[in-house]
Structure 1
Amino acid sequence: MGQVPYLLVSSAEMAREVTMTHDLVFASRPSLLGMRKFFYGCRDVGFSPYGEFWKRVRKISVLELLGANMVRSFQLIREEEVSSMIDKIGQSCSMATPVNLGMLLLTLTNNVICRAALGKRYEGGFTKLTREIVTLLGAFCVGDYYPWLRWVDILTGVDAKMESTAKEMNSFLDQVIEDHLVRKRDDNGSSHKDFVDILLQVQKDCVVDVPLTRDDIKAIALVLS
């Protein structure tokens, strides 16, 4: 499609060749405009190309962030958020008012993920930003497929929208990291560690051959939240 090669697989035998025999050839995702803008040049575990950096970031994600012990450590957070949701349902029932279960479940998921990844609830602005990013990631950018028509994305405004949303999210994540650094100095590491705390510790300890930059931490935290 344009300058991006596509391979259509229509049989189980060929699907096996693509996903098993020659899986490394097809392991990387195409580097699209939205991914580059929102994830700092695809420096996250979800969109970075297959290679040494991706393998190291994946190792950090699996062992440090998503391991069984880490998941169990967030049990209290899950229980608190579920209890809060049940209380809201109870209040609505006592006042005989309708309950929007879809919105409550969305809020529950958002709160659990935010507290686990970023350390506390972030409602309103953060939720709006993440929804905008999801929408823009699904937008069709002509320049991704026809580079000589890159000006079309500028003309339609999709480029400017991505740029402004990426700047807002970048400022938000910078503030999250600064809050974590201040908290770490104040409590001497006594509080429960979230994903950002662990990534900052990995960066400090240099446990990977390629040190994590602040942009790497923001990209990983964003894709996991």
Structure 2
Amino acid sequence: MNSLSICVLSLLFFLCSLILLKTKKNVELKHNNNHKFLPPPSPPKLPLLGHLHLLGSHPHRSLWNLSRTHSPIMLLKFGSVPTVIISSAKIAKELFKCHDLASCSRPRLAATAKYSYNFLDLIFSSYDDHWRELRKIYISELFSPKRVQSFQHIREEEVNQLVNSISQSSSSSTLFDFTVKSYSLTSNIITRIAFGKSTRGSESELDDGNVEGVIQRASAAIGCFSASDFFPSFGWIIDRLTGVHGRLEKNFKELDAFLEHVIEDRINFRTVCQKEENILDVLLRMERDCYEFGSMKFTRDCIKAVVMIL
């Protein structure tokens, strides 16, 4: 065998070795990737519906029972939306520790989009530059230590009102409903801090019944699921046929009109009476000054979204 043949055979052997090593490496990499991204356990699902049929009238109990049967971490498909369900405090802690950025945003649902004025608030907006800028506003403008301290007299006055009410009821035969009084205490403190008015009595539209009714209907609308949340491509048709969309629009318009009235009432009040700023005054000042955060300007919808959370 001459030297040329030896060189050719050596080259072929070398090339074959490279191909074998490359193939083995690809197989190992594919195996590792499959093992790494192995999805969590998942119960049998139905076509189109996925696992929606497994949710009863109390979804949290249904999910808990499923986790006991399958795993504390499950992959369920609600319609066309894949969802990871975690029913273990230890696993949830590990998730937030190692994958915080991937799990810190809330789902973008139809109702929350509506009531947050297209995610302009701090709670329902995704974790991004907008959220971080809005958080700075909360910390530096709305709830700074100095401003929180300035509302101390409001908290003291409302607590004194509650104590006096308890004292008066103890000397009479009437029953004292502490649940109602606790709600009234919280409502009065928040509305006085936010709007400069109490829900006690019937001042303008901030009376107890009206505020509670508006908020309860809004909360119920936010808590209802829409078909568009599970089937983004065609769910909006189902929502219109079932009346879910109409009820959402009606409740939102009611709340929007209420917030608009409160804002206009406060603007008119400030023109004739200069008192200490409440939270709504701060937001209105930011709107007048064309305050910019990120790539957005602070608009009336931004004010309503913040007040909605309050």
TM-score, scaled to structure 1: 0.89
Q: Does the aligned pair in 2 maintain the 1:85–1:104 contact within 8 Å?
A: yes
User: Partner of 1:178 in structure 2?
Assistant: 264
Q: CA deviation at 1:20?
A: 3.1
User: Partner of 2:248 in structure 1?
Assistant: 162
User: Partner of 1:24 in structure 2?
Assistant: 101
- Match among 111, 118, 124 for residue 209 of structure 2: 124
Q: CA deviation at 1:141?
A: 1.4
Query: Aligned-pair RMSD on alpha carbons?
Result: 2.1
Matching of residue 193 in structure 1 with residue 277 in structure 2:
yes
User: Partner of 1:146 in structure 2?
Assistant: 231
**Aligned-partner SS, 2:161:** helix
Figure out how many residues of one structure are paired with residues of the other and give that number. Answer: 222
Question: In 2, Cα distance between the equivalents of 1:69 and 1:87?
Answer: 29
Pick which of 146-155 and 6-15 moved more.
6-15
Matching of residue 79 in structure 1 with residue 156 in structure 2:
yes
Q: Does the aligned pair in 2 maintain the 1:42–1:48 contact within 8 Å?
A: yes
Residues 17 and 85 (structure 1 numbering): CA distance in 2 closer, same or farther, change over 3 Å?
Answer: closer
Residues 151 and 115 (structure 1 numbering): CA distance in 2 closer, same or farther, change over 3 Å?
Answer: same
**Aligned-partner SS, 1:24:** helix
The one-letter code matched in structure 1 to 2:128 is G
The one-letter code matched in structure 2 to 1:183 is F
TM-score, scaled to structure 2: 0.66
Matching of residue 3 in structure 1 with residue 80 in structure 2:
yes
Question: In 2, Cα distance between the equivalents of 1:107 and 1:13?
Answer: 37
Deviations 1:21-53 (A, max 9, x none): 332222221111111121211210110122221
Question: In 2, Cα distance between the equivalents of 1:8 and 1:102?
Answer: 33
Q: Does the aligned pair in 1 maintain the 2:292–2:298 contact within 8 Å?
A: no
- Match among 276, 287, 291 for residue 203 of structure 1: 287
Structure 2: gaps of 5 or more residues: 1-77, 199-205
Matching of residue 55 in structure 1 with residue 138 in structure 2:
no
The one-letter code matched in structure 1 to 2:307 is A
Structure number with the bigger relative contact order (C-alpha 8 A, sep ≥ 6) is 1
Question: In 2, Cα distance between the equivalents of 1:163 and 1:177?
Answer: 21
Residues 73 and 207 (structure 1 numbering): CA distance in 2 closer, same or farther, change over 3 Å?
Answer: farther
- Match among 192, 200, 204 for residue 115 of structure 1: 192
Structure label with greater radius of gyration: 2
| Percent of aligned pairs sharing the same letter | 36
Deviations 1:56-115 (A, max 9, x none): 111111221122222211111111111222222233233321111111111111111111
Structure 1: gaps of 5 or more residues: none
The one-letter code matched in structure 1 to 2:286 is V
Pick which of 110-119 and 155-164 moved more.
155-164
Pick which of 176-185 and 137-146 moved more.
176-185
